[in-house]
Amino acid sequence: MIRVVLATRNPHKVAELGRILVDVPVELVSGVDVALPEVEETGDTFTDNALLKARMCAAATGSPAIADDSGLVVDALGGDPGVRSARFAGEHGDDEANLLLVLERLGAETNRSGRFVCVAALATPDGHEVTETGTMQGVIAEAPRGAGGFGYDPIFIATGQQRTNAELTPAEKDAISHRGAAFRALRPHLLELAAVDRGRQGGGPSANAALR
């Protein structure tokens, strides 16, 4: 079974991707278990940053790697926090400070529409790569609700829902989430990678053919 490294140390993302890709016949290896390089997210777009992380991880581990970059886009804030979602309040990964800053910036604004965006990237050590994008439309709540999820989940209400993402079960959230959509779209590429690798083990073509 071909090894595919998850280019993240975030335990929430590792668990979420494990659920979403549970039936894909590859060995998913957490970024916690390999020597991942520190990658500065210098890209201007989610696609830029997802590819940066996937490329660096594939080069460092010698295995195909998958990464994502995702964030919250709020219309009334001109698209912020956007690619700065994880560090909107200054310190990377301070979820509570980030979401409270969004609420502070919105104030009494009546236009509370926004969306989560996720770009999932798959890269191989010799430079072949693909990306897929998923979105989840919704509105920003007036105050945090719920103890589940992570990031901005306590203040985001997806279209068609009355509860915030943090009030949904993991299965409910996965079914509609931006990350779920992006990685389900990436799933066929992983299946091709696994199939071609099985062919290579039997003398077939290179596994990288799956990404051409």
Rounded distance between C-alpha atoms, residue 88 and residue 185, angstroms = 28
Active-site residue (options: 44, 48, 68, 69): 69
Say if CB 106 and CB 76 are below 8 A apart. Answer: yes
Strand bridging mode 27-29 / 156-158: unpaired
DSSP H helices in the chain = 11-20, 46-61, 95-106, 170-176, 178-201
Say if CB 112 and CB 58 are below 8 A apart. Answer: no
Rounded distance between C-alpha atoms, residue 12 and residue 163, angstroms = 20
Give yes or no: 69 in active site. Answer: yes
Say if CB 68 and CB 121 are below 8 A apart. Answer: yes
Residues assigned a catalytic role: 69
